[in-house]
A and B are shown apart, each in its own frame.
Chain A
Amino acid sequence: MSFISKPKVANPSLPSNELGLNRRDYEGSMSTLCAGCGHDSVTAAIVQAAYELALPPQSVVKLSGIGCSSKTTAYFVAGAHGFNAVHGRMPSIATGANAANRNLRYIGVSGDGDSLSIGVGQLAHVIRRNLDMVYILENNGVYGLTKGQFSASADIGTKSKKGEANEQEPIDPVLLALALGASFVARSFSGDKEQLVPLIKAGLSHSGFAIIDVLSPCVTFNDHEGSTKSYAYVREHSEAPIAADYVAPQREISVSYAPGELLPVTMHDGSSVLLRKLDPDYDPTDRAQAAAYVQERAMRNEYVTGLIYVDQKRRDFHARANTTDAALNSVPFERLCPGAAKLPRILASFR
């Protein structure tokens, strides 16, 4: 970690977005993670995505559980409210917060311990609710704060720092999300900002639950030879069938690709995600095929990355609940309370 915080004086030459804010305005407090931690790169990607989308900082709500990854919500968008919940239970806090105000952007950051062990139940059910949020799972296969135990995403045969091999079946968050019907499923690598930033932007524009599994190596406890979540291993074993480019609502899609290779997906806010097929046979709107593809590649020790599955039609939490368009926390009391005059009529059925 760094002990010297960067001065908050902005370089006047820094470009600014439509709100007149520069990239530094989307930063948070100084990271206390280990130098070289993959999570810090993910934080930087979130900062970049929020800056490029020109999100008003106060329109963002940051949520996390407990663990190294969950600390990072303090490190981006200082102008947003943040909630560091209890271990594995961020999805329920996110559900309540979103229920109270549907008009903010909810970014959840979690880890493989937080999401796949103690919190796998809450993750499963927030996926089922199709809550409108981006859920970034910083996945390193290891418990960092308690010093190096395997997590539930550790692959069979992967070795701990002490040389012990994992024998338990891993939980792949991408397969889990596909099985539970997540409407936006992506995977990326903390070392691939070019892939990660557009995915976060697309996830933020998606209406419904967007999960991004980010392989984010732990430099201290899981970056050694024999680990399947090390920088070197992930770099060598990643394969993207689809590349996603985010296009803002006001811009035209002008990139040209060979026909049949381009699949523009229009998001609810008018923006688009351009899916470039790197594998001509891959269809990211086919859930069964997506799951089979990921599973097949996993058996060949490959991580499938990119936007793996998207379904824009699935109704989100509020659409299913038929909630009013206004934020519930802004509905005036007078509209909520039936008033004294109606009470006798209600009581009449109890005589």
Chain B
Amino acid sequence: MGMTTGAGGRPLPLVGQGEASWLTTKLDFVVNWARRNSLWPMPFGTACCAIEMMATAASRYDLARFGMERMSFSPRQADLLICAGRVTYKMAPVLRRIWDQMPQPKWAISMGACASSGGVFDVYSMVQGIDTIIPVDVYVPGCPPRPEGLIYGILLLHEKIKGESVFDRELHRQLRAEDPDAVGKPNLPEEVIQQITGPFGNSTKQNRVSGLVSTGALARPGDRLS
């Protein structure tokens, strides 16, 4: 950014090292206002959550009130990925590719228990939370969440966008960098995936029944409760 001249020939910083200037905050306000009020969602509906998402988009709940005039069925014209439903490992590369195809700036909502954590499907074929595949901004709990829940998640995302700054390059670099090396790769390091996907609740008992723990032959050191 350049400099301009103030009263008495004193240079006025547009982007300072200290607090944000009047111009940047106003620009952030306008840009964020435009962005959050014209989010075009890319629906990635794989299960029952998608039914609630459709209900949210239909006339009674009417997502168009929030600037989501249309569902964008092409990732190239979408700002927001709503992953509604369980994602299998076979579907994981598809989800990652759609995310990679979306242009900047982009956000993601993980809708429902299965997308956020794997839900009740703690099994061999199911992704244990899509945040191991793509970065997620808002998690909406529920099985499935009611349309009010999804709308609340979208409004939370509005709040998040409100707090962003177009000049915060670090944020964009970290969260949404178009890093060619990151395309098609897991979103989290291996240790973190292991840590957040250990068996819990009923699945520890199911491991015992299947002979995993009792024989010890197949126990994995990374599992928290094995």
A, B from the same assembly: no
Chain B residues engaging chain A, CB cutoff 8 angstroms:
none
Chain A residues engaging chain B, CB cutoff 8 angstroms:
none
